[in-house]
């Protein structure tokens, strides 16, 4: 018989393990690579997104506060498509 850990505990342990290993992620705003343990974060549409610095955090916070998130996300999607096609 196997015992399973509750999802909340399991996800907490997995994020701890990732940070201890030095796992990397990309900044939601600028795409800069950083360690997960050093990332700042902000809630964007119900999902925590990593930020590399207080500047990127301030920009996204200002976008959200001024209710410009839809335009920001559309621009972000258009920019990523242009970069992939180059």
Angle of helix 69-85 relative to helix 54-65, nearest 10 degrees, comes to: 130
In a domain, 9, yes or no: no
In a domain, 11, yes or no: no
Which H/E stretch holds residue 51?
A: strand 47-51
pLDDT at res. 12 = 59
In a domain, 10, yes or no: no
In a domain, 52, yes or no: yes
Q: Is the pLDDT of residue 83 over 60?
A: no
Contact (CB, 8 A) for 37 and 52:
no
Rounded to whole angstroms, the Cα distance separating 35 from 21 reads 9
In a domain, 8, yes or no: no
7-34: burial string, b at 16+ Cβ within 10 Å, e else: eeeeeeeeeeeeeeeeeebebbbeeeeb
Domain region containing 64: 24-85
In a domain, 4, yes or no: no
For the segment 4-53, what is each residue's pLDDT rounded down to a tens digit?
Answer: 444 444 455 666 665 566 788 999 999 999 998 889 999 999 999 999 99
In a domain, 75, yes or no: yes
Q: How many independent structural domains does the chain possess?
A: 1
In a domain, 65, yes or no: yes
């Amino acid at each position: 018989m196997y015992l399973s850990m509750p999802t909340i505990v399991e996800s907490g342990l997995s994020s701890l393990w990732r940070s201890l290993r030095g796992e990397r992620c990309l900044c939601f705003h600028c795409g800069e690579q950083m360690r997960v343990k050093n990332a700042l974060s902000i809630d964007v549409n119900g999902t925590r997104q990593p930020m590399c610095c207080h500047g990127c955090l301030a920009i996204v916070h200002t976008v959200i506060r001024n209710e410009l998130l839809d335009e920001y996300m559309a621009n972000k999607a258009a920019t990523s498509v242009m970069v992939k096609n180059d």
